């Protein structure tokens, strides 16, 4: 069975259509109206080996916050839907990724329990129309709606673009590992029998 999901979310602030295929090839078609954010979503697809389509019409005349957060909610819900009962997956994933002067580790547990630990001192900067502080808001929304535990640790880094991009790449690679089928496991990867 293909592990795919399609999510539509309409609020007074955003209208979003998102399609996710977990067992993809890294293809993406993304249009949120926030150029740097589109760039980051493309990295999620490429480094997660997900196929991802996102369109969002948001209240960008205010700022990019609602767009970024609501896309995070949709991506998290799509993960839950595409994973189903999570039988046979690895459940855990982690990746440490360098990018020039920056080094970031991301660790994921598809536990069914939302929790975000953010140990990343991201310099506050506007990257196009994307405030660098929105990186944390995006991953908090993914963690909450996706019912997953995520730890992000920035070991070092100075360039804001590099820091945010490395966080997205590392988390995508951790997610890729966590959602992969475990060749030695067939049931739910928990002694509870449910995730």
Q: CB of 50 within 8 A of CB of 20? A: yes
pLDDT at 185: 87
Assess contact for 177 and 49: CB atoms under 8 A: no
- Which 3 state secondary structure label does DSSP give 179? helix
Q: Taking the complete model, does pTM exceed 0.85, yes or no?
A: yes
Strands 130-131 and 126-127: antiparallel
Average pLDDT over residues 123-144: 98
Give percent above pLDDT 90 in the chain: 97
Confidence grade of residue 52 (pLDDT, cut at 50, 70, 90): very high
Higher pLDDT, 142 or 191: 142
Domains and CATH numbers, the chain: 4-179 (3.30.230.40)
pLDDT at residue 97 is higher than 90? yes
**CA gap 86, 118 in Å, rounded:** 25
Distance of alpha carbon 155 from the chain centroid: 20
Distance CA 23, CA 188 (A): 19
pLDDT-derived band at 192 (thresholds 50, 70, 90) equals very high
Q: Is the dihedral of CA 95, 141, 87, 53 positive or negative?
A: negative
pLDDT of 58: 98
> What confidence score (pLDDT) does residue 186 get?
86
């Amino acid at each position: 069975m293909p592990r795919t999901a399609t999510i539509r979310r309409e609020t007074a602030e955003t209208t979003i259509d998102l399609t996710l295929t977990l067992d993809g090839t890294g293809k993406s078609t993304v249009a949120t109206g926030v150029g740097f954010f589109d760039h980051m979503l493309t990295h999620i697809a490429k480094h997660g080996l997900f196929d991802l389509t996102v369109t969002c019409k948001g209240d960008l005349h205010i700022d990019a916050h609602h767009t970024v957060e609501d896309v995070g909610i949709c991506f998290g819900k799509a993960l839950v839907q595409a994973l189903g009962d999570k039988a046979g997956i690895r459940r855990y994933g982690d990746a440490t990724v360098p990018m020039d002067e920056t080094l970031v580790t991301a660790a994921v547990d598809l536990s069914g329990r939302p929790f975000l630990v953010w140990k990343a001192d991201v310099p506050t900067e506007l990257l196009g129309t994307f405030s660098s502080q929105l990186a944390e808001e995006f991953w908090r929304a993914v963690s909450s709606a996706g019912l997953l535990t995520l730890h992000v640790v920035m070991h070092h880094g100075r360039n804001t673009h590099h820091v945010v991009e490395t966080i997205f790449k590392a988390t995508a690679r951790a997610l890729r590992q966590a959602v992969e089928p475990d060749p030695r496991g067939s049931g739910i990867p928990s002694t509870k029998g449910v995730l």
